[in-house]
Amino acid sequence: MTLRLDDAQKAVRDGGRGEAAALAFGLLARYAEAVGADSLLAISGAHIDGCLHHGQVSLDFVRRFVDLDGRVAVPTTLNVGSIDLIHPEHFRGDPALRRDGEALMRAHEALGCLPTFTCAPYQTIFRPRFGEQIAWGESNAIVFANSVIGARTERYGDFIDLACALTGLAPASGLHLDGNRRAGVVFDIAAVPTGWHRDLLAVAVGIVVGRRAGGRIPAIANLPGDLSEADLKALGAAAASSGSVALFHAVGLTPEAPDLETALGGRKGVARETVSAADLADAVDGLSSVPTGTPITAVSLGTPHYSEAEFSTLIGLIAGPPAKVPIYVNTSRDVVDRIEKKGWLSELASGGVSLVVDTCTYLGPVMAESAGPMMTNSGKWAWYAPGNLGIDVAFGSLADCIASARAGRFVRA
């Protein structure tokens, strides 16, 4: 299939926007053909998940564009890297990885990417608006942008996200197009285990929906109407971990689903799945690899990166008895600036909280403790940390995590 190009796109292809943009265009055009697109569309922002080092090719790719004096064509945020550049002394891994990881982050900055180093770019001033066409990498950011905001992005990954940023273009296919955004399966939350906090419920629903949705876009009906943005963020991150969900519709809560009929786009006969209280309890149990009562070495929060609102909740909970194990919180340098201005850093420090910036505790050696079990309220962290870090995980609500930090062992609040 040959792409239909307008004059502006032909100009990019032919070098009118520089050699780097032309090189990126060539890659993007071939990718667009491979995914069956027949044209390209303009984007207004990009988020790059290229700062994690997967080998020499990662650095060679970015440096090719740096050598050609490339500049991104649209505002472009950067995902987490391998290193906390604000607190590099926390890094406890191989010096070669530290050097290459830092070089990769710096090379992206040289292309004009913004040094946000966060997996939650929707918590920065570059948060997209409803209906905006963007090209984002990072699974939790993609599902949040599509679902909670109603912006439009496909699941972009290595190399192609940067090619989109350098050209300001993306393939006109997939979730960029309205007709491809309707739900293909309905999950009915029939019952919820009693006494559950909302954050626990959000993760459990995300895990179940991710596992059972397959390639279909899920609509989720009968969720509590008071789920917060933080809860929807946790739900999406969990669904994008246990499955490959890039868009969900929470009926009555997300912008493309004021009601179920709208989420389905009027389609009849869409498959229905019932989610029972037992399904949700099983999902939560499956995230812990140790039983309650087991001693823990640390608590890790903020996967995806903590927001200002989440810090506000945390500060309310840590006032009281001291924690016996450290509480790590992953967040962005931008959010740290904001909570510093509010005077919250000393309260967090005296509550036993260590901030990790620019990266994430599940990616590499940034915590002093190398052995587990560790506890989290993040479905995504619980899903990936055992494989990445080789540790056992205890999973619970935020309240469970704080109670466990105080007890020094896995307890339910």
Residues that bind another protein (CB under 8 A): 23, 26-27, 30-31, 33-36, 49, 52, 54-58, 60-61, 64, 137, 155-160, 244
Minimum CB separation of residue 272 from another protein in Å reads: 26
Is residue 379 within 8 Å of residue 234, measured between CB atoms? yes
Between CA 27 and CA 41 the distance in angstroms is 15
Nearer to another protein, 228 or 244 (CB): 244
Residues 6+ apart with CB under 8 A from 296: 325, 372, 373, 374, 375, 394, 404, 405, 408, 409, 410
Minimum CB separation of residue 137 from another protein in Å reads: 7
The two beta strands, 249-250 and 271-275, are unpaired
Is residue 353 within 8 Å of residue 345, measured between CB atoms? no
Minimum CB separation of residue 232 from another protein in Å reads: 23
Q: Which helix (H) or strand (E) holds 327?
A: strand 327-331
Minimum CB separation of residue 61 from another protein in Å reads: 6
Nearer to another protein, 49 or 400 (CB): 49
Minimum CB separation of residue 159 from another protein in Å reads: 5
Minimum CB separation of residue 60 from another protein in Å reads: 5
Crossing angle of helices 160-167/56-67, nearest 10°?
Answer: 10
What are the tokens at 157? 């990954």
CA distances from 205 to 195, 275, 375 (A): 16, 8, 19
Between CA 389 and CA 286 the distance in angstroms is 18
Between CA 295 and CA 252 the distance in angstroms is 41
Nearer to another protein, 61 or 126 (CB): 61
Question: Is-cis flag, bond preceding 304, omega within 30?
Answer: yes
Nearer to another protein, 104 or 263 (CB): 104
Minimum CB separation of residue 79 from another protein in Å reads: 12
**Ramachandran region, residue 117 (left: φ > 0; alpha: ψ -120 to 50; beta: rest):** left
Q: What is the DSSP letter of 342?
A: T
Query: From edge to edge, which strands make up the β-sheet containing 46-48?
Result: 76-78, 46-48, 135-136
Nearer to another protein, 52 or 74 (CB): 52
Minimum CB separation of residue 56 from another protein in Å reads: 7
Is residue 66 within 8 Å of residue 332, measured between CB atoms? no
Q: Which of 384, 364, 358, 391 is nearest to 96 (CA)?
A: 364
What are the tokens at 102? 């830092």
What are the tokens at 301? 């929060």
Between CA 147 and CA 130 the distance in angstroms is 10
Nearer to another protein, 236 or 352 (CB): 236
Nearer to another protein, 32 or 223 (CB): 32
Nearer to another protein, 220 or 246 (CB): 246
Minimum CB separation of residue 150 from another protein in Å reads: 22
Between CA 78 and CA 121 the distance in angstroms is 8
Nearer to another protein, 25 or 328 (CB): 25
Nearer to another protein, 26 or 88 (CB): 26
